[in-house]
Amino acid sequence: MPVDTELVASLTRLGFTQYEAQAYAALVGQAALTGAEVGRRAGMPPSKVYETLGRLEARGAVLVNRSEPVRYTATPHTALLKELRERFDADLAAAEAALEQLPAQQEPGLVWSLSGRDAIVQSIGRAIEHARRTIFAGLWDEELDTLGPLLEAASARGIETHVAIYGTRTLTGPHSYDMAECGASARLRLSGRRLAVVVADDTDAVVAEFGDRTPDQATLTTNPVIALLAVEYVKADVSGRLMINAMSPAAYAELLTTPDMAAINSPVTASNN
């Protein structure tokens, strides 16, 4: 019976070697097994079985019954995970203390590139969590699943938080602005792409583009000019929406037919670069 591949993958991420993870997974939930039985269940080369079991014994992951033949059983996973958690917590605390002692030498104002949705959302999350005075954000429903609670927590700790929401989500605490209609027209105009902006304390800015058919990419910067531009973008978009809401439908429809509005709202095609 093959071992659980997902369990093996999880154990390797926790510091086990591939063979150690396979052997431990083969032992979990089983009666005591001989080394040969572990090797067969784990799909390991016979030459690696006893060396691997010895390492697992040394790290406290298996118990050994030195009968004839020698048999092995897995240390209860609750005890093993408790030990791993305590060790990792101690290692993280030691690393954090050491890193905080290192001098911070950063050149202000540089613009850094980010790619991939997870990395971008994590970077936006860090900016929100590190804010001390203000946050201006323009975000979409897709990212608010992760970032919404962080924005609510920032508002709760006294940060002046303004969020333009291009969708149907709502937030409790921040000043929120319903930009769903603007979001729908923007998706059409930008061929499915979504522009997201977060600026913390008028200095830390993340400007991101998420695409349905294009790569997710962003810039991260402390450049004050870009941060100011991003804040003004959010303010202008919200102000425009509020003014449209104050207009009658007929007046807004007439506005859309003017040459200037037709020109500014023409579709933007994605770059091929």
Domains in the chain with CATH codes:
5-79 (1.10.10.10), 111-248 (3.30.870.10)
Q: Quick one: pLDDT at residue 42?
A: 93
Q: Quick one: pLDDT at residue 226?
A: 93
Angle between helices 5-13 and 18-27 (to 10 degrees): 130
Strands 175-178 and 160-166 come out as parallel
Q: Quick one: pLDDT at residue 164?
A: 95
d(CA 271, CA 181): 25
Cis peptide before 69 (omega within 30 of 0): yes
Total-model pTM? 0.67
Q: Quick one: pLDDT at residue 45?
A: 94
Indicate the residue type of 151: L
User: What is the mean pLDDT for each group of 10 consecutive residues in the chain (273 residues)?
Assistant: 81 94 92 93 94 94 93 92 92 90 74 92 95 96 94 97 94 94 79 91 94 90 93 92 87 85 69 46
Token couple for 229: 């531009």
Q: Quick one: pLDDT at residue 113?
A: 92
Q: Quick one: pLDDT at residue 94?
A: 93
